[in-house]
Amino acid sequence: MVRRCKTAILISGSGTNLQALIDAVGRGDLALELCVVFSNNPNAFGLERAEKAGIPTACIQHRDYPDRESFDDAVIAELDQFEPDLLVLAGFMRILSNRFVKHYKGRILNIHPALLPNYPGLNTHQRVIDAGDEWHGSTVHFVTEKLDAGPRILQGRLKVKPGETAEQLALRVQAVEHHIYPQAAGWVGSGKVEFRDGHCWVDGKQAQEPVVQSF
Ligand code: GAR
């Protein structure tokens, strides 16, 4: 039997992307085994989604720790008990310390609701509307020490509609995320996509640009 990539999912909130991953794994679409869902927020609805799916959960609150490093060390100690091959950040709203990123070097994925390198940080939907951009979307990328700047794997893009509000746009981008995150995580899990020498490699070739899908 093919060994599935043991995957830890880190969340802070609702976990709709987590649900999309749970559903895709449940359909047998991905070479992933979801070994733990971790949250820094004990009230995250995503923890209930995980329990319903029979996935182990863990929670450590950052406010119980004096600084980022000591919190991150506790998270590492917790996650490592599950021996994950891959970490998937799915709305995990914490900035990771350098030592956390180094510990899991090349094995952390994030999804960010913008067409990176445009709009790193928060409030992306409103910023796109304010700028009058034609296209918006979301990016799955490897996590490196620099926030929202690691090698990009896959982008899903859509056209901004005239008069659309940030809330309406956010919902459409979220629907795109539910397609691209399971797909990109599956690519990494199967070895189609790799992090090597600080770059993203697809089918053994170094990729200069992410794969782009229009919705
Ligand atoms: C997602 O839209 C994701 O792109 C965003 O949080 C949301 C989580 O939603 N992540 C970031 O903004 C990270 N900078 P979910 O809990 O419903 O999956």
pLDDT tens digits in sequence order for the chain, 215 residues long: 567 999 999 999 999 999 999 999 999 989 999 999 999 999 999 999 999 999 999 999 999 999 999 999 999 999 999 999 999 999 999 999 999 999 999 999 999 999 999 999 999 999 999 999 999 999 999 999 999 999 999 999 999 999 999 999 999 999 999 999 999 999 999 999 999 999 999 999 999 999 999 99
Pocket test for ligand 1, best of 174, 176, 179, 181 (most atoms within 8 A of CB): 174
- Within 10 A of 114 (CB to CB), how many other CB atoms are there? 22
Q: How far apart are CA 189 and CA 166, in angstroms?
A: 33
Tell me which architecture the domain covering 1-104 has in CATH. Answer: 3-Layer(aba) Sandwich (3.40)
Structure pTM? 0.97
Residue from 12, 17, 172 to probe ligand 1 pocket by mutation (most atoms less than 8 Å from CB): 17
Atom of ligand 1 nearest to the CA of 170: 2
- The pLDDT value recorded for residue 3 is 72
- Say if residues 156 and 177 touch (Cβ distance below 8 Å): yes
Measured in Å, residue 134 CA sits from the centre of ligand 1 at 21
- Count the helices and strands in the chain (H runs, E runs): 6, 11
CA of 2 to the centre of ligand 1 (A): 31
CA 56 to chain centre: 19
- Which residue ranges make up each domain of the chain? 1-104, 112-140+151-215
How much is the pLDDT for 2?
Answer: 60
Please determine whether the domains at 1-104 and 112-140+151-215 fall in the same fold group of CATH: yes
112 tagged catalytic: yes
Q: Ligand 1 centre and the CA of 136: distance in Å?
A: 15
Residues with CB under 6 A from ligand 1: 11, 13-17, 90-91, 111-113, 138, 174, 177
Of 62, 103, 112, 199, the active-site residue reads 112
Query: What atom in ligand 1 is closest to the CA of residue 16?
Result: 17
Q: Check if CATH label 3.40.50.170 holds for domain 112-140+151-215.
A: yes
CA of 49 to the centre of ligand 1 (A): 16
Q: Give the pLDDT of residue 29.
A: 87
Residue type, 70: S
In 3D space, the residue among 187, 192, 212 whose CA is nearest the CA of residue 204 turns out to be 192
From the CA of 143, how far away is ligand 1's center (Å)?
Answer: 15
